[in-house]
Chain A
Amino acid sequence: AQTVTQSQPEMSVQEAETVTLSCTYDTSESDYYLFWYKQPPSRQMILVIRQEAYKQQNATENRFSVNFQKAAKSFSLKISDSQLGDAAMYFCAYRSAFGNQFYFGTGTSLTVIP
């Protein structure tokens, strides 16, 4: 099974500043997909951003962007201009191109300081 590692259990950021959440994964596959999910307190988990491994260009969704380093098996999430509503648990996830299962990291709890 693939392993997804989020080494930062907790992070904090000042409002309007930028923060980067780390994620690494272990796989022998060359084709796969990576996702970042956000889970606000007591609320539903939602997709933040996704990246196809075959794409060299890093994905961007408004204030959220990723730094995808395929050789290093690294997939970090950058949140720019942090807002209070960004406070949540963030999960990194991996999906093989050949299977239905998703593999999740243990999550990073992000606090936004006003």
Chain B
Amino acid sequence: DVKVTQSSRYLVKRTGEKVFLECVQDMDHENMFWYRQDPGLGLRLIYFSYDVKMKEKGDIPEGYSVSREKKERFSLILESASTNQTSMYLCASSLFQGRNQPQHFGDGTRLSIL
């Protein structure tokens, strides 16, 4: 069974801090994704990666960056956290081949920026 692990379930940070959210998957998936989930807005894609060191912007990349140095790990970075980045962050992974393959999600990180 695929396991996607996010480093923290809950995180509280202060404005201006640099914040790292880590995600690790154990199924050798090529694709990894970072979403932000807000009530009434659903899931919005921040960034995704289809290979090591490769990344593509999603719908809301502003204020975020990502890093993928190893295939199993995909990090989301808030360069200078702001209160409007308070949200639930979901990491997901999927196979590159086989378009009918679903995404597998982590438990999410609820991030509060004070």
Contacts and interface: CB of A to CB of B under 8 A. Distances in A.
A101 B48 contact: yes
Contact of B107 (A37, A43, A91, A105): A43
Interface in A1-32: 1, 6, 9, 32
Contacts of A6: 42
Contact of A52 (B43, B90, B100): B100
Interface residues of A, number: 27
Nearest to A32: B99
Interface of A: 1, 6, 9, 32-33, 35, 37, 43-47, 50, 52, 91, 93, 95-98, 100-102, 104-107
Interface of B: 31, 33, 35, 40-43, 45, 48, 50, 58-59, 90, 92, 94, 96, 99-100, 102-108
